[in-house]
Structure 1
């Protein structure tokens, strides 16, 4: 007997079969390490505990030999390793449960490690897409949606553009080869007749607006 939570999906990542004539152009998921690094800030957390260790060892070193001071302060390194391990486990679980799908008509996000939900964004709902890339090629494509619908920041996290509280932007977060996927999405939207131009890749975390779509 299968215990796969998603074994009832007719197509991986989709709650139902696509309408006749619609086709999948791409499916993917976040890179778990990129998600842990960028969304969960594992490197910053690790640096924080290393700094605590250094500070405590320096203070203790005034009253005991350096080796004893470091041994007495090693608790912070152990605690930091446990914390970073837990964050990476969350990043792995979020990446494993997520499936991003681009068809020739819409973008679909199946997300949630504990509470799974599927969000669908027809191209006519997307006003623009912002691309942010990293030097390793991973990146995020954030969707600026049209209309009055607002999305919960907590329910979407981490599959969103960070720090956009007032107007939450769903996102294909930390995907490998993000620039190529952005081009594919732009071409799909352009071919659908909804938008006149495709997103352009931008590096060093400088986003660019793209895929302008007139409101219906």
Structure 2
């Protein structure tokens, strides 16, 4: 549990107000910034792209005097490293300022580097959860919300399921031990729906509005 309290106006870390009587805190966590840099800010893909561009530039300048060859290559390499460093720094700030909270009634997402936003997602309004595994046990957990209410994709990013722009899905991004967190979400959801049995299945189609939870339970699947 992350107990570091750096937001002075929070009643408790990650929570805008104290939990109501009877509500229990089950888990808190934040994204792993290295995994967030790779999967949300695409630092690895950009590094490969910059390397390819430097290779093409070297081939184009091949045959020029050393000074004419090295100067533009060093300039391009410096610009590429600066861009990668800036993206990695933003990923670090995004991970440090993010705190996800699971209680026995809701999921709370505190996100934002400069402007802090807090989203309360009642478990009764969660229609599905999709787990996307990553390396070393990390993963994303995307949430499908029931009803017609939507959170703007730009307000969520990078804490949104990639490419789901029409029906944005809040996502707990790049979590360590993501499968364990997914199991805790499943248990908390099932406790609110004692007559439902959890099953594995496909995520709700993103081309249609999310519906209320099905009677047989909340699907938690690999996306």
Match of 1:88 in 2: 88
User: Structure 1 residues 73 and 52, CA, compared in 2 at 3 Å: closer, same or farther?
Assistant: same
Q: Distance in 2 between matches of 1:135 and 1:146?
A: 30
Provide, for residues 32-52 of structure 1, a one-character-per-residue CA deviation record: whole Å limited to 9, x for no partner: 111111010001111111111
Provide, for residues 36-95 of structure 1, a one-character-per-residue CA deviation record: whole Å limited to 9, x for no partner: 110100011111111111111111113345x96345412221111100010011101111
Match of 2:154 in 1: 154
Map 1:23-172; keep pairs closer than 5 Å: 23-64=24-65, 69-70=69-70, 72-172=72-172
Q: Distance in 2 between matches of 1:48 and 1:138?
A: 25
How many residue pairs match? The answer is 203
Q: Distance in 2 between matches of 1:116 and 1:187?
A: 29
What is the DSSP-based 3-state SS (H/G/I as helix, E as strand, rest coil) of the residue aligned with 1:136? helix
Match of 1:188 in 2: 188
Match of 1:8 in 2: 9
Provide, for residues 104-126 of structure 1, a one-character-per-residue CA deviation record: whole Å limited to 9, x for no partner: 11111011112111111111100
Question: Are residue 22 (structure 1) and residue 28 (structure 2) matched?
Answer: no
On the 8 A contact 2:124/2:189 being kept in 1, the answer is: no
On the 8 A contact 1:53/1:73 being kept in 2, the answer is: yes
Match of 1:209 in 2: 203
TM-score by length of 1: 0.87
Query: Could you list the runs of 5+ residues in structure 1 that have no partner in the other structure?
Result: 201-207
Q: Distance in 2 between matches of 1:137 and 1:41?
A: 19
Q: Supply the RMSD in Å over aligned alpha carbons.
A: 2.1
TM-score by length of 2: 0.84
Provide, for residues 6-47 of structure 1, a one-character-per-residue CA deviation record: whole Å limited to 9, x for no partner: 112121000001111111100001111111110100011111
Match of 1:203 in 2: none
